[in-house]
Structure formats: C-alpha cells, structure tokens
Amino acid sequence: MKQIITIALFLITANLLAQKPCEYSTNVNDSIGTYKSTKEYIVSEKNFGGNSSYIFYSLALTDGMPTLSVQLIQKSKDFIKANCFDKNSKLILQLNNGKIVTLLHVDGENCGTTLRDDKGFDNRVNTGNFMFMKGSLEELKKSPVSLMRIQYLTGMEDYILKKELISELNNETYQPETYFINNLRCIE
C-alpha cells in the first residue's frame, strides 16, 4: 500500500513540476480592478509564395471575466482581404473528443489596421476579443482542440491546429492543440 501511495505522490509531483509557470504581459491589481493577460502564443502560421499569416492567442482575466484575445497578422505584397469582426463574430473550436465550444466576440466592428513596412509589404493586424460561454472552460481543460473556425462579418475561415508547430517566425516550438489545457490555469 505504501508503494502505491509513493508512486501516486511521485506522479502528481512530476506533473506539477512539468507545468511551465504562467507568463504574463500584463498583471495589474489596483483600486479600479484587476486585469491580467498572458503573453501571446502562436497557434497558426502559414508561409507560402511570399505571403505570411499568423494567429496568436492570449488569455485575459478582467475583474473575474475570462476572455480570449485572437490576433491575426497577414503580410503580403499583394492585396490583403479584410476579415472584419463584428457583434455576430464567433470563434468555434472542435475538440478531439468531438465536442464543439463556441466563443462570442465582445467588441464592436473591427477590420484591423494595415501598415506598410520598409520592405514594401503590407501588414494587416486585427485583434478580436472573445468571451467563453458557460461550461466551455471546463470542456477546454479536458480535451485538445483539433479545428478552429473563425466566423467574420465578411465570411469564415477554418484552421487545423497542430499538435506541434515549429515557428518560422522565431524558431520556437508551440503546442496549439493543447493551448487551453496548458494555459487556462493562468487566468483562474
């Protein structure tokens, strides 16, 4: 019996030590309220024919309300289609266990900003903030995400989330499938 308890304690300790500490870009607690936001994390990256697109996630907790910030960056010398968020925009996540989780856009209409860099590329940056529906946090803690659908004002796009992504942008390794499993604890 002592061996079983010892093994169980070892496994629990190893699991706790294996988790990376939470990294925040902002962590404020003052008389106005509390706000903390995790650092941005790449969940999708496409580079093809001189065009690049990136999707970053960050989790935020504002006075007890958890949200997901989704930042889309597109880079091209060609025309970049505007994907606008509005009050009807949604982020739909299909989990590996077959369940679907929907997050609702919380801001008004936003089509992003286009900036031209010194190399002649147009860069479109757009950020949408989405709130979690009741019960969705618990589902996201249990199962990896296999597919993400973003419903824009101007259409929708699907993205397959990889188990492992080695970014060409910064040569770092990311695990988009398990982003929520690994990071939701940072805003609890």
Count structural domains, the chain. Answer: 1
The CA distance from 184 to 164, in Å, is: 18
Q: At residue 9, does pLDDT exceed 50? A: no
- Using pLDDT thresholds of 50, 70 and 90, give the confidence band for residue 8: very low
Higher pLDDT, 47 or 8: 47
What is the model's pLDDT at position 181?
Answer: 97
Q: Which pTM does this prediction carry?
A: 0.85
- 123 assigned to some structural domain: yes
- 4 assigned to some structural domain: no
The CA distance from 88 to 144, in Å, is: 25
- 7 assigned to some structural domain: no
- 53 assigned to some structural domain: yes
171 conformational bin, left if phi > 0, alpha if psi -120 to 50, beta if neither = left
- 26 assigned to some structural domain: yes
- 5 assigned to some structural domain: no
Range of the domain at 100: 22-187
- Using pLDDT thresholds of 50, 70 and 90, give the confidence band for residue 57: very high
